[in-house]
Chain A
Amino acid sequence: MNRRQAIKKTALLSGGMLLLKHSLLGQTSSLSIPTSATFGPREESLLQLVVDTLIPATDTPGAKELKVDQFVLLMVSDCHSKQDQIAFYSGLHSMDAFVEKGFGQSFASCDIDTRIEPLKSVNKKSDAGPELQAFIRITKRRTIQGYLRSKYVMTNVLLHEMIPQPYDGYYPASKLGGKV
């Protein structure tokens, strides 16, 4: 029995609740994964690649380094409907076949600069299927949220101030990058 089968079997036994050791903010959480889902190391690393393609490392860390993939899994588990969860995992699982078919190689083996093309094509190609499209839609939404609401971004890049400046209703828009 390989790990994927083992995980799947556990999921069946526990009625859809799959316990994954999941380290987010130092908390260990249990993830709810539909029994129909296949989720193992291959899917785990595929998701990491997807979030890192959506928000790559530049001179600041990308989504993978900020463990946004774990946040995506947590939110799909806790804040989405069963229907969304099924589509998400099924879409994730079908992604490699879609990329192989359209681009002649697996997503992982795509060049880092061209990896974005398969992701962009999901919404344009009808053969991507609604589940893969749902996977991309959910992943993108939660990746943006997890990235912008990460400790790193909120304390190093777009600083979050618990106590704002005193109110000025006539502040020069130009200082905030607004059109004048």
Chain B
Amino acid sequence: MANLSINGVKQNTYDAIVVGSGISGGWAAKELTEKGLKTLVLERGRDVKHIVDYPTANKMPYEFKHRNEIPHEIRQANPVLSRAGAWKEDTDHFFVKDDEHPYIQEKRFDWIRGYQVGGRSLLWARQTQRWSQQDFEGPARDGFAVDWPIRYEDIALWYSHVESFAGISGNQDGLAELPDGEFLPPNPFNAVDDHFKRVLDEQFEGRHLIAARFANLTKSTPTQLAQGRYQCMSRRLCKRGCPFGAYFSSNSSTLPWAEKTGNLTLRPHSVVHSVIYDDKQGKATGVRVIDSLTKEVTEYYAKTIFVNASAINTNLILLNSTSNRFPNGLGNDNGLLGKFVAFHHYNIKVRAQFDGLNEFAPFGGRPGSTYIPRFRNMFKQETDFLRGYATAFSAGRNLSSNQSGMGDDLKENLLNPKLGSWYAGAQMMGETIPKESNAVTLDSQKTDAWGMPLLRINVDFGENDRKMEIDASEQLSEMFAAAGFSNIKTTNKQDAPGIDIHEMGGVRMGREANTSLLNGWNQLHACKNVLVTDGACMTSTSTQNPSLTYMAITARAAHHAVEEMRQRNI
């Protein structure tokens, strides 16, 4: 334990500590600092300042040495990261290399990480659909995991709260399975989007094509202008960091906002070793931090601690936070910490061609595409598998050049690209069932460069997922055929879990202390001044991209924690 004088302790004491600066940590920082709490945000990676630290944001394609390809040897050295489609020359600096943070794959698990201020909020896909009442009721209705301690009505206002601030585009679609929200104008449809929507409306009851809700500013309202964020230019280079601040990230939005309050202290290069639990006081008193550069250990103290290190690393920190009271990890009285990890199932892709509507072509750019909310087993059980899948849809026409031939012919072809026929593509986004055997544990021997135990990851698909694949493949093909699409090709990507980059669970919320780790306000049942509001808190996964729900859960928990602190309950 670090040897600190009383002054040193005072200097290292804050009202709140937030571990992690990604999409949920950023929200915790914003809400806590706005409420007047002196807040320390710890980030294991380097600082990334909005705009200043986006070195590739304005580069033309020819300015990349390898035209955006990652060199062969580097790919070979990073088999896990190589499977992340977004890892290219222009985003390389935002991804963790395989050997920088090793982990043990008991089964193949592609763990894609971004260790820097802002975390993966710089790199996310920006789809932001709300969960519905049916999503929160899922485990109770279908008898898996445990009942969520919250329902849609508990979080609806918090969805509105984060949507208004972050800036989310979308339509008021009026669908029970996908609640509406506070939306900026939606992304426009093209001719084939409209055609496909009509076919679904006419021939497939309960299936709807809608504009996916996206965290790109289709319009900048005063709320975003106050953050220094401007309308999206549809460059579709979001993952480099946006010079207009046109998509939501911790870096462009919540962290600078928190900084403006004067209550934020941001400490990059801070690997959190563990949360400190004081047996006498019966609560957590702070965190132990290893400086990632000097490896010096420092303790920081606070009344409230938010652990938002990203789902799997939050599990790691809590498992590593042992004390007399909690020999198996903080709050882990029931032995469930690290268990019931789940993810999203994206394996089925369908692609086709459409020879109609040739008089039209899409022109220009839009930052988002379209989406079919889940239609399987939505309001009652209908199939031989549990839950269902949403579908990402896109349609377009490419201008491409014929690359056959050589010499003058080739050059002529290259310089005169031709418009191809319409293509249509769809990808399932499936819910998976959290299982006790899908777990992360600490290796008892091996440690990383900072002396932290290596994580062992044992997460796999199950029979329910395989049945869902078959159904998704059949249903998407059937809808494509009904729309008159031809040359329909279904692919099973056969990915391993992890590459969805939606890992969730391990520190699940629940009603009972003997079957869950967190209560309905994201406090550890057994240590109420420690809160977890990142992906680790998820009881089930639903089908939606999870970030919006993390944001809403975080804002809700932060407000409650502040209230509890005022009443001296924590």
Residues on A facing B (Cβ under 8 Å): 24-25, 27, 29, 53-56, 58, 60, 62, 74-75, 78-81, 116, 119-120, 140, 144-151, 153-155, 157-158, 160, 162-180
Query: A163 contacts B62, CB within 8 Å?
Result: no
Q: How far is the CB of A105 from chain B (nearest CB, A)?
A: 18
Query: B419 contacts A167, CB within 8 Å?
Result: no
B451 located at the interface, meaning its Cβ lies under 8 Å from any Cβ of chain A in the complex: no
Query: A171 contacts B408, CB within 8 Å?
Result: no
Query: A55 contacts B414, CB within 8 Å?
Result: yes
Query: B359 contacts A173, CB within 8 Å?
Result: yes
Known: A154-B60, A160-B61. A54 touches B360 (CB 8 A): no
B397 located at the interface, meaning its Cβ lies under 8 Å from any Cβ of chain A in the complex: yes
Query: B366 contacts A176, CB within 8 Å?
Result: no
B8 located at the interface, meaning its Cβ lies under 8 Å from any Cβ of chain A in the complex: no
Residues on B facing A (Cβ under 8 Å): 58, 60-63, 65-67, 69, 71-73, 187-191, 193-194, 233-235, 237, 358-366, 397, 399, 401, 403, 406-408, 410-411, 414-419
Query: B361 contacts A173, CB within 8 Å?
Result: yes
Query: A119 contacts B406, CB within 8 Å?
Result: yes
Partner of A173, one of B234, B237, B416, B419: B419
Query: A148 contacts B364, CB within 8 Å?
Result: no
Q: How far is the CB of A83 from chain B (nearest CB, A)?
A: 11
Query: A178 contacts B235, CB within 8 Å?
Result: no
Partner of B406, one of A54, A151, A154: A54
> Contacts of B194 on A, CB cut-off 8 Å?
169
Bound together, the chains give a CA A75 to CA B189 distance in angstroms of 39
Query: A179 contacts B419, CB within 8 Å?
Result: yes
Partner of A170, one of B73, B191, B415: B191
Query: A164 contacts B416, CB within 8 Å?
Result: no
> Contacts of B233 on A, CB cut-off 8 Å?
163
Query: A158 contacts B72, CB within 8 Å?
Result: no
> Contacts of A157 on B, CB cut-off 8 Å?
415
Bound together, the chains give a CA A176 to CA B408 distance in angstroms of 22
The A contact surface, by secondary structure, is mixed
Q: How far is the CB of B519 from chain A (nearest CB, A)?
A: 45
Known: A154-B60, A160-B60, A178-B397. A170 touches B414 (CB 8 A): no
Partner of A154, one of B62, B66, B191: B62
Query: A56 contacts B362, CB within 8 Å?
Result: no
Query: A151 contacts B191, CB within 8 Å?
Result: no
Task: List 13 extra interface pairs beyond A62-B411, A119-B406, A173-B360, CB under 8 A.
Answer: A29-B65, A54-B410, A55-B411, A56-B408, A74-B65, A78-B72, A81-B72, A154-B60, A162-B235, A164-B234, A168-B188, A172-B361, A179-B358
What residue in chain B is nearest A166 (Cβ atoms)? Answer: B364
Bound together, the chains give a CA A68 to CA B366 distance in angstroms of 33
Partner of A151, one of B60, B360, B366: B60
Bound together, the chains give a CA A60 to CA B416 distance in angstroms of 14
> Contacts of B71 on A, CB cut-off 8 Å?
78-79
Q: How far is the CB of B377 from chain A (nearest CB, A)?
A: 32
What residue in chain B is nearest A82 (Cβ atoms)? Answer: B72
Query: B234 contacts A176, CB within 8 Å?
Result: no
15 contacts between A and B (CB under 8 A): A29-B65, A55-B407, A56-B407, A79-B66, A79-B71, A120-B406, A148-B401, A153-B415, A155-B60, A160-B60, A165-B364, A167-B187, A167-B362, A171-B360, A177-B419
The 7 closest A-B pairs by CB, nearest first: A169-B190, A178-B419, A171-B363, A164-B365, A165-B364, A167-B366, A78-B71
Bound together, the chains give a CA A74 to CA B415 distance in angstroms of 24
> Contacts of B188 on A, CB cut-off 8 Å?
167-169
What residue in chain A is nearest B418 (Cβ atoms)? Answer: A177
